[in-house]
Amino acid sequence: MFTHLLLPTDGSQASEAAIQKSIQFAKEAHAKVTGVHVIPEFHVLTYKTAMLEDTREQFAKDCKAHAAQFLAVIEKAAKEAGVACETAYVISDYPYEAIVKMAEDKGCDLITMASHGRKGVKGFLLGSETQKVLVHSKKPVLVFH
């Protein structure tokens, strides 16, 4: 039924648990996976342009290192399960938009992701990227708790 899964990760324990379940699902469905991590855009207000450039460079370096670390979890799990896998990172201030766009661009037919379970006022005020993906995606979304 599903042939290509998109697995977003933010490096959290909840994401890692969802990755393991997603890889198992992909193996059983004979599907391939694409892992994605969304890096936020760099923003800073300063009047010292030299500081801005150094800070931007270090920010980008750190974010790419984190992305590689988070995506390696997907690559390792897929390799161990014998599931075809590719990974990528994208830069966006709106992770849910980047996830929905990546699913469309890569031809994924299912998005699998973790629910971080924010409740009450915190969940209402902060929202949830998972919730936003559920609302905005035209693709089905499988949420692991």
Q: What is the CATH number of the domain that holds 13?
A: 3.40.50.620
What is the structure's pLDDT at 50? 53
Find the mean pLDDT for residues 23-49: 88
Range 14-28 average pLDDT: 96
Label residue 38 exposed, middle or buried (CB < 10 Å: 0-12, 13-18, 19+): buried
Diameter of the chain by CA atoms?
A: 55
Q: Provide mean pLDDT across the span 87-114.
A: 96
Domain that holds residue 41: 4-144
Give the Å distances, CA to CA, from 21 to 17, 55, 75, 124, 143: 6, 37, 14, 27, 10
Q: Which pTM value belongs to this model?
A: 0.87
- CA distance linking residue 127 with residue 118, whole number of Å: 8
Number of domains observed in the structure of the chain: 1
pLDDT of residue 59: 86
pLDDT at 3: 98
**Closest to 56 (Cα-Cα) out of 70, 66, 42:** 42
Give the other-Cβ count within 10 Å of 24's Cβ. Answer: 13
- Give the pLDDT score at 44: 72
